[in-house]
Amino acid sequence: QSALTQPPSVSGSPGQSVTISCTGTSSDVGSSNHVSWYQQPPGTAPKLIIYDVSNRPSGVPDRFSGSKSGNTASLTISGLQAEDEGDYYCNSYTTSITWVFGGGTRLTVL
């Protein structure tokens, strides 16, 4: 199972919006409603921010939103804040009853 494809880095200024893509195949993202996103600030453990494509756990700001079209899922962060800096990972359940992560995207707030 190959890792899902994410851009290595994205950046934006405070207040702007950025979108991170996550491309898989028909064996994972394309056939799964169970795509999740994780935020990992430097030196910390990952934290769940989106699950089941577009749902936010309690406590996660509504600036974070998720969507999916075909084999590609997306995470959009609006109203960028300095505290949003870090690495972001997508994850998908697969038809092999396994899970697979994306390679990760480093978000820089300029």
Partner 1 sequence: EVQLVESGGGLVLPGGSLKLSCAGSGFILSGSAVHWVRQASGKGLEWIGRIRDKANNYVTSYAASLKGRFTISRDESKNAACLQMSGLKTEDTAVYYCTRGDFWRFDPWGQGTLVTVSS
Residues found near partner 1 in the complex (CB under 8 A): 1, 3, 34, 36, 38, 40, 45-48, 51-52, 57, 87, 89, 91, 93, 96-104
Minimum CB–partner distance for residue 87 and partner 1 (Å): 8
If one counts every other C-beta atom within 10 angstroms of the C-beta of residue 82, the result is: 8
Cβ proximity to partner 1, 13 vs 42, nearer residue: 42
Minimum CB–partner distance for residue 61 and partner 1 (Å): 16
Please work out, in degrees rounded to the nearest 5, the angle formed at the alpha carbon of residue 105 by the alpha carbons of 37 and 26: 60
Cβ proximity to partner 1, 74 vs 91, nearer residue: 91
- CA separation for the pair 64, 77 (Å, rounded): 5
Cβ proximity to partner 1, 40 vs 78, nearer residue: 40
Minimum CB–partner distance for residue 109 and partner 1 (Å): 20
Taking alpha carbons only, the member of 85, 84, 90 closest to residue 103 is: 90
If one counts every other C-beta atom within 10 angstroms of the C-beta of residue 15, the result is: 10
